[in-house]
Chains A and B, each alone.
Chain A
């Protein structure tokens, strides 16, 4: 079973109080499943970070995998060992 770590940034970290969480996923799990798992474990994410449906990220939040690529399709699958950064689109300042 693939093991991943989700890192929380910005609002996600603020509302969960967590920097990161390790997840053990079922074979064939998608990034959407990661969203669902997070929504179930951290209901405070629903609203500002995860849409009320519980299976989609609220804009402008996104998943960045290993700080290299952004997940464009939640129905694709993470790989074992991935570090999934839950962050928002950086802007302004």
Chain B
């Protein structure tokens, strides 16, 4: 095989043993890499029904088909476990050097089983695996851990995926970090922490063989040239924080825990303002010619010196959504999350829930006692230091941070059970995953895409905001097209997440981001890498299969139609200001769209997958277990 080694490395932390599994080429043609392959490995290796924080939940890491090749933005990997936030599939992506090292070490994928009694890190030195003591690394931040391991192994080419203090303390929104990039959202860091696994470090010294090097180089040259043009300009100069003002103008910028979609201080947290005042430099992942990450530094005031990469989603979560119009506080909060190894989106949305709960008088100042403020503090919306402090408290599970570290679904349920309140009505999550930075009341196709999402409220797995924002449909109403649109956009995204390729490259093949513009070019890249004979239809099938295995995983873990829901607020409380004021997604609209979506997918009315569909996709064993 070209492009792959054909080998999956299994590591058993409980018994400290390793084994090698060889997969047939047909398996690779179906699951390709990234999130699909990682999910498939999770399907094969999990103890069904297990607690996500128990030894029965495996960590599954799958490289991409293009990792370690010259293919632009192909240096990404997928990671999958059962999510501690949702109880369903937790699939994430991260980019840069770690995946290239793993591929060069000769492994297509890595499955980590069981749990260690003592803190450990793995050192994969090509085909040799060491279980190394990690007790001295406990408590170190994510970046510090990467650096400490490089020093310990005396090799600055060793690449590590690690957890920070949040993962060690089983914070449910903890991330896995490599090369300063995060595999975030669904709580992988907590899964690693539950296994006492601090890091996976890799030294890879082998090459990646491709089928047609000359053809691949020519294809890559053309894409790299295009990646310097207007199709990526918005990412290169302002980065994704440029979304702030766009979304604010459309009335879609989550503000004060999604109470409104317009923030009066939006200019002060905009990408433009960030660029002018706090931007330090722009950096890129390995294998990427675009470079979108806007490294920014707080230059004065109480947070001076804090520095990290700023993207739109973490930014909205810790600023407008907490009522904070202070970019330096936002940089500090995101820096705390990144170094602590936790997802800034989920952290911000959980904090905004706590702020609203305080403002409604359910929490009091007394509830916010901590070492920094022994008498407590008042986390009203706009209190920047409260956001910074709460991020630290969540990371350390200090005081009320212990409750918030459970994520907004569990935290609200616990408070409501204890106090007889209804804080769940402003707990902004879907399936337990905190919502992203687009208010779905003014994006009804996207509302459907989020509701049915296999990993919960995720803007990356469903691109259904696209037809809404482009005006291809009326974003304020529903009609019979929405089921097909939600299906089409999620399967489109799943192609990129499975190869994986960063979606920011999608216009650089022909100038058009749609399937017709991208799939033929992607097929050529696959064929030049693997020697296969993929065409438009075969590329399209990648996304269909990827989504099918994720959905199948959820069904086996107990998913029902009722799990495809929206937060109460989006269904009952219209916003009062801005271009999206006055709208909600009604129960009737949501159920109607779910019917359309399940029909478009070829599923039953209850959202289950027919056996014959899975068999057609080459998933006979899956059909046997969950097909109807």
Residues of A participating in the B interface, judged by any CB pair closer than 8 Å: 7, 9-11, 13-14, 47-49, 58-60, 62, 64, 66-72, 85, 87-93
Contacts and interface: CB of A to CB of B under 8 A. Distances in A.
B503 A92 contact: yes
A93 B579 contact: no
Contacts of A69: 471
B507 interface: yes
B535 interface: no
A70 B470 contact: yes
B471 A11 contact: no
A10 B234 contact: yes
Given A10-B271, A68-B579, A93-B459, A60 B245 contact: no
B246 A90 contact: yes
A11 B233 contact: yes
Interface of B: 230-231, 233-235, 237-238, 240, 242-243, 245-247, 249-251, 271-272, 275, 311-313, 436-438, 459-460, 463, 465-466, 469-471, 503-504, 507, 511-513, 578-579
Contact of A48 (B230, B247, B471): B230
Contact of B234 (A60, A66, A70, A85): A60
Contacts of A60: 231, 234, 507, 513
B246 A10 contact: yes
5 contacts: A9-B245, A69-B471, A70-B471, A90-B469, A93-B311
Contacts of B512: 59
Contacts of A93: 240, 243, 311-313, 436-437, 459
Contacts of A59: 230-231, 507, 511-513
A48 B233 contact: yes
B470 A62 contact: yes
B282 to A, nearest CB: 13
Contact of B238 (A10, A47, A87): A10
B249 A90 contact: no
Question: In this complex, which of A47, A70, A89 has the most chain B Cβ atoms within 10 angstroms of its Cβ?
Answer: A89
A90 B237 contact: no
A6 B112 CA distance: 55
A10 to B, nearest CB: 4
Contact of A64 (B250, B311, B437): B250
Nearest to B506: A91
B475 to A, nearest CB: 9
A67 B253 CA distance: 13
A14 B294 CA distance: 15
Given A64-B471, A89-B469, A92-B504, A11 B250 contact: no
Given A11-B238, A59-B231, A90 B463 contact: no
A9 B247 CA distance: 10
Given A10-B242, A89-B470, 7 more contacts: A10-B238, A48-B230, A59-B230, A70-B470, A91-B463, A92-B312, A93-B459
Given A10-B238, A70-B470, A93-B437, A88 B231 contact: no
A66 B471 CA distance: 13
Contacts of B459: 93
A14 B238 contact: yes
B465 A90 contact: yes
The 8 closest A-B pairs by CB, nearest first: A70-B471, A93-B312, A67-B579, A93-B240, A93-B313, A10-B242, A48-B233, A48-B230
Give the interface centre of B437, B460, B469 by most chain A CB atoms within 10 Å: B469
B298 to A, nearest CB: 21
Nearest to B315: A93
A9 B312 CA distance: 15
A70 to B, nearest CB: 3
Contacts of A92: 235, 240, 243, 311-312, 460, 503-504
A87 B272 CA distance: 13
Contacts of A68: 579
Nearest to B580: A67
Given A14-B272, A47-B230, A67 B250 contact: yes
Nearest to B250: A67
A81 B366 CA distance: 52
Nearest to B233: A48
Contacts of B504: 92
Contact of B249 (A11, A14, A67, A72): A67
A45 to B, nearest CB: 11
Nearest to B242: A10
A14 B272 CA distance: 7
A29 B469 CA distance: 25
Contacts of B313: 93
Contacts of B470: 62, 70, 89
A37 B463 CA distance: 33
